Amino acid sequence: MQATSTPEAVGDVFTALAHPTRRQILQDLKDGELAAGEIAARFPATGPTISRHLSVLRVAGLVTERRDANRILYALAGDRLALSVGDFLSTVCPEQMVLRSIRPTARPAVSPDAEPVGGSKKSATKGNQPASHKGAQKRTRKAQKSAAQAEKAQKAAKSVQDDR
């Protein structure tokens, strides 16, 4: 599928991303294709509801489907998500183009002072935390590290612009 950046195509991508179930389906597909039944089994919603979510993702070009006997297998559709969001960001935030060339794999900036998901930095002892909270803390640490890298990249981009 060819990447299109028409307003309608970008709108389809953002519509598809608007629902948490569809975002979770995309995350579940990151490790490879899954059958529709396997995807549906991961959610409390009915099969037809999950089928509708998969249809929205397919129409947006974010997933592909293929038939294997009586199963329908879904997989992520290449770089469609990154290209659509990247095109949108380059229009809204042109300075991101400079940052992208400096740090092509960096993640979005998050304030280093951001509070971890689930409460304050002193919310509980490590031994009593559920696995999901430990994962949230790990993601927070990664986000803080990414924020520091983003800040450094922004300073570098500013100095490149100042040198011009």
Write out the chain in H/E/C secondary structure.
Answer: CCCCCCHHHHHHHHHHHCCHHHHHHHHHHHHCCEEHHHHHHCCCCCHHHHHHHHHHHHHCCCEEEEEECCEEEEEECCCHHHHHHHHHHHHHCCHHHHHHHHCCCCCCCCCCCCCCCCCCCCCCCHHHCCHHHHHHHHHHHHHHHHHHHHHHHHHHHHHHHHHC
Average pLDDT, the chain: 74
The pTM score is 0.54
CATH 3.50.50.60 for the 7-76 domain, yes or no: no
Q: Residue 68: which pLDDT band, with cuts at 50, 70 and 90?
A: very high
The pLDDT > 90 percentage for the chain reads 35
Q: What is the pLDDT of residues 92-110, one digit of tens each?
A: 877 756 565 665 554 555 5
The domain locations on the chain are 7-76, 107-158
**Is pLDDT of 133 > 80?**
no
pLDDT at 136: 59
